[in-house]
Chains A and B, each alone.
Chain A
Amino acid sequence: MSPRAPGAPGRRRVPAGPALALAVATVVVVVALPRGAWLVYALVGAAVLGAAAVARVRPRDVARRLVVAAPFVAGVAGLAFLQRGGAVVAGTLVAKSAVCVLAMAALTAATPFADLLDVLRRLRVPALLVTTLGLTERYLAVIGAEVARLRRARRARTFARSRRAAWTSAAGVAAHLFVRTTVRAERIHAAMTARGAR
């Protein structure tokens, strides 16, 4: 477990059920707030910022997540800006989405994903979906490392700089990755059977 993982020593651990409920409630309230309630946004934002600080969210993570969402937010806010009274709509969109990103970042930093899955299971989400969510989260890092290895190997062998070669080689990496993914899925199933699953 990485020292930064939720639930690792030195990090605060919050029961997942209440944490999820609180985070979702915060987001719902923020979304339901009327447009242009700047003072309320600021107050909720400050509270969420406090929670994020207690959960030890890395500012870098929040910044990266805001940057990822930025083109879409900017695009839609830009379109909204063209409407009558659009400045308020656009500002509201930016403020609300930023506060909500912060709230969810605080949640994921404070609660291990497995605990969130337990909550979903208790909420009667279909078992197949919960299992698949768990497997996906579990193998994100593994398959991410696999794609990094494939890319490194590809870069070590490919010297062509043309765009066409870049597309072909990226597609080749993706194809190899998919084949390895199916092989890994078979191994996982064998391991599950060996441990008495089903």
Chain B
Amino acid sequence: MHLPDGFLDAPTALAAAALATAGLAVGLRGVRRTLPPHRVPLLGTAAAFVFAAQMLNFPVAAGTSGHLVGATLATVLLGPFAAVVALTCVVVLQALLFQDGGVTALGANVLNMAVVAPAVAAAVHGGVARALGGGPRARLAATGFAAWCSTVAAAVACAGELAAAGTAAWGAVLPAMAGVHMLVGLGEGVATTLVVAAVGRLRPELVAPVAGPRTPATGPTVAGGLVVALVFAVFVAPAACGWPDGLEHVADALGFSRAARAPALAAPWGDYLVPGLGGGAAATAAAGALGAVVAFVVASVVAWRVAPRAPGRAP
């Protein structure tokens, strides 16, 4: 989901860059406050690690294979602030050295993949792990689910930027981006869980417990609040503006116009119906909720399989 140059208009690119700068400033401040000086080189090597980990193939089906994105992996292993800085470096280097993502879209790409993704990952990981009791198994289940949530959140943010720029209609780009990344996120969740579990077997001290005196609850709470605000803005702003003709054109072209005249759910999404889902925002929300349930079940099952047998005992 690296946005290339030319996909965003100036206002969207600048707004995204401002948000990304704010997020990065929070990350840098957090790193200066919490990271001991002898761990600072780890930021750089960890960013290089994320690059290298993206080279590992996870076979999916019929000869195709996926790879880790690594946002949640970095968040769980390094903490949210260090993850923001390391992932920013990854995204900046991808743009500068490998032209993976554009320079004018750099702000948006940093926002999606290095601010929103780790913030959502940290909020979900902390919250779910605590809710499930904070044991090793709970933390692994939280890791998988956080990876899914952060992948989907980054995709939704990306869709929001594309819609705000008028590049693609919100009603078309949201289901497309979210749908694809709900599947991608399942793989990301399983792979991240496997890696974190393996790190825990090799070096238990590197996978520190979530609910301890070292991690105050304010960080995740603030991050969670920011994310909710952002997602709200991304979802509601386009709906409030009302993009004119994108999906109606699709509907005309595909012969859905009659269905579109009788929306199943009126306000505030009334103009938009998702072809194939048929129920507009309600269907999108239902699909999202179903996806979240599936992702949570998958994460729990994987965590159950790979967690150390007796909680608390060193494996």
Contact = CB atoms under 8 A, between A and B. Distances in A.
Contact of A171 (B5, B88, B92, B194): B194
B245 A144 contact: no
Given A65-B99, A147-B53, A79 B10 contact: no
B298 interface: no
B186 interface: no
Contacts of B37: 189, 198
Contacts of A84: 245-246, 249
Interface string B65-82: 000100001000100000
Contacts of A128: 28, 31-32, 40, 43, 85
A171 B102 contact: no
Interface stretch (B165-173, B213-221, B262-270): B165-173
Query: Contact residue range for chain B?
Result: 35 or more
B4 A174 contact: no
Given A27-B104, A140-B48, A181-B46, A170 B58 contact: yes
A105 B5 CA distance: 13
Interface in A114-139: 116, 126, 128-129, 131-139
Query: Contact residue range for chain A?
Result: 35 or more
Given A167-B190, A175-B195, A136 B93 contact: yes
Contacts of A110: none
B34 interface: no
Top-5 shortest CB links A-B: A135-B44, A96-B6, A175-B198, A171-B194, A100-B5
B159 to A, nearest CB: 10
A106 to B, nearest CB: 10
Chain A residues touching B, majority SS: helix
A178 B55 contact: no
Contacts of B5: 27, 30-31, 96-97, 100-101
Interface stretch (B121-129, B199-207, B226-234, B287-295): B199-207
A169 B26 CA distance: 36
B89 A136 contact: yes
Contacts of B172: 79, 82
Nearest to B82: A132
13 contacts: A31-B8, A72-B2, A83-B245, A84-B246, A96-B5, A97-B4, A101-B5, A131-B44, A133-B89, A135-B43, A135-B45, A144-B55, A181-B46
Contacts of B86: 132, 136
A32 interface: yes
A151 interface: yes
B202 A93 contact: no
A129 B86 CA distance: 9
Given A93-B7, A175-B195, A75 B176 contact: yes
A23 B95 CA distance: 13
A89 B206 contact: no
Given A108-B99, A128-B40, 10 more contacts: A69-B2, A69-B99, A75-B176, A92-B6, A133-B44, A133-B93, A139-B48, A179-B202, A182-B203, A188-B45
A189 B40 contact: yes
A89 B55 CA distance: 33
Interface in B30-68: 31-32, 37-49, 51-53, 55-59, 68
Nearest to A170: B56
B89 A144 contact: no
A132 B203 contact: no
A178 B77 contact: yes
Given A101-B99, A143-B51, A189 B190 contact: no
Contact of A83 (B47, B53, B68, B168): B168
A30 B38 CA distance: 44
